[in-house]
Structure 1
Amino acid sequence: MQVVRLFKVGLAAMALLVGGCTYSHEIHLSLESGKLVFVFDDGKPVAFTRLAIVELSSETPTVWQLESLEYNGRDIGKLVYGTVPTGTKQISSAKLLRVGQLYRAELSTIDGGGSQEFVISPDAANGQSDEAKIVRK
């Protein structure tokens, strides 16, 4: 009886340790030469397994999706919207992003993930600003 109880306690402890080992990655956005750029963890490479850009309040929300071809993820620190880096495959091709529409970037990595909601402001779309308007959750 004591062995079974210790075994259950050990399993519970392992589940807590494994479940608690996720890392939250930051996603920053900017516009460079009129192109939307995603920068992960201040440009430090992250082993991403999937990146999806979704349009919130849409019946078909995914506007762009990439997946890594590598089992342990593809190291990337910066990504331009619509580009397909080597070592990745495009699941959904990039659609035109609309000014004023609320989107969310969803990053999955081998050790966690992250997300960031954003809107393309009219000033950014007109080339008067190099910033995408960031909407915090």
Structure 2
Amino acid sequence: MAGKTSRRKERQFAFQVLYSVNFEDTPRMDRVDATFANFLAADTPDDQTSDMSFARSLVHGVVTHMDELDATIARFSRHWKISRIANVDLTILRLGVFEMLHVPDVPVRVAINEAIELAKDFGDDNSRNFINGILDGVAKSLTRQGTPPDKG
């Protein structure tokens, strides 16, 4: 029986996979896929299956668009080079920016709120405000470019 998972749980799963491959200079897709499979096997009880298709699309999308995501983050992270941003925060930012730019059925505000929830779960005391500030800047930029904040 296929298990249905919430998008929030799939975002958390995607975060964990991306965080674990974040320490590689350029994550290779085969390594990402293997890490995804290992996490999925550990996370899914033997009597259930779950395809985690939303999580898989997030992971693949972030890895595929990483240069674009990092450039966007760098534009809005005042006084912070990408290399200086904590890996937890950077991973959450990449997920949030990816959803804002490339997942049309997720409204921008939802992407921001979900990133803040990830920051509460995985970040430190400053993560939430840091992430919110950067993603809010991206959202305002999208609005100025004619992409509505509720693009969904």
TM-score under structure 2 length normalisation = 0.24
| Structure 1 or 2: more strand by fraction | 1
- TM-score, normalising length: structure 1: 0.26
**Which structure has the greater CA radius of gyration?**
1
Structure with the largest fraction of helix: 2
